[in-house]
Amino acid sequence: MSVVLHGNSTWTSPYVLSVFAALREKRIPFETKDVALNRAEHRDPGFTAQSLTSRVPVLVDGDFQLSESSAIDEYLEDAYPAPAHARIFPSETRARARARQVMAWLRSDLMPIREERSAEYVFYAHNRLKPAAPLSESGRRAADKLLGAAERLVPAGSGPLFGEWCIADTDFAMMLQRLVKTGHDVPAKVRAYADAQWERPAVKEFCAHERPPFEASLPY
């Protein structure tokens, strides 16, 4: 069966990155299809027939379609299990639960960071973007909350959160890179962790993908 990942045409969505990394880490062959959100292609009937939530990413695996990145990552772990495919979640029960907690939190909280430090600052050269304004009071509180959690979660030595890499590392590093790439004062241990995660081949491939000229879009 063919596997297709539908993602935003600017390749800036952290949620598309999560699924892209999961597919690469599991070594599942797949193709990508771009959805131009600025042209409202996510509202086209052909796309909404595949995306229950009318959002990217969407994974098409043969005759099965699934949207929402955390659900897709969980599906890939179940549908393409170890040992034939690499694990993307921790094998130990409590570590796996914690990884899921981190992923759920990143998707449901910290909105001021997403709004004031959009993903374009991570994936586009800054000379093509409007300079980032200082964080608002709510943005500073969100940044403090994120960095406080990072200080607790990132181990000494700045290695993966749970001993071995898992998909929560990519998601967590993505949120941290919003601050790193815009010059926020990030503790050395946390910055080293975020930068190390940015060196994984799947992440580097996503970051290096060709992008169209910047146009303001959704606050991913």
Q: What is the pLDDT of residues 98-140, one digit of tens each?
A: 999 999 999 999 999 999 999 999 999 998 788 999 999 999 9
Residue 184 identity: H
Give the class (CATH, top level) of 93-200. Answer: mainly alpha
Contact present, 104 and 73 (Cβ < 8 Å): no
Please, which pLDDT band fits residue 141 given cuts at 50, 70 and 90? very high
What was the pLDDT predicted at 39? 75
CA distances from 206 to 18, 46, 61, 73 (A): 10, 26, 21, 17
Across the chain, the runs of DSSP E, i.e. the strands, are 3-8, 31-35, 58-61, 64-67
Confidence (pTM): 0.93
Domain segments of the chain: what residues?
A: 3-87, 93-200
CATH code reported for the domain at 3-87: 3.40.30.10
Q: What is the pLDDT of residues 154-203, one digit of tens each?
A: 999 999 999 999 999 999 999 999 999 999 999 999 999 999 999 999 99
Which residues neighbour 8 within 8 Å (Cβ) at sequence distance 6 or greater? 16, 34, 35, 36, 37, 56, 217, 218, 220
Please, which pLDDT band fits residue 219 given cuts at 50, 70 and 90? low
Mean pLDDT of the chain: 93
Please, which pLDDT band fits residue 216 given cuts at 50, 70 and 90? low
What was the pLDDT predicted at 41? 65
In this prediction, residues 15-28 reach a mean pLDDT of: 98
Report the distance separating Cα 171 and Cα 144, nearest Å: 18
What was the pLDDT predicted at 213? 84
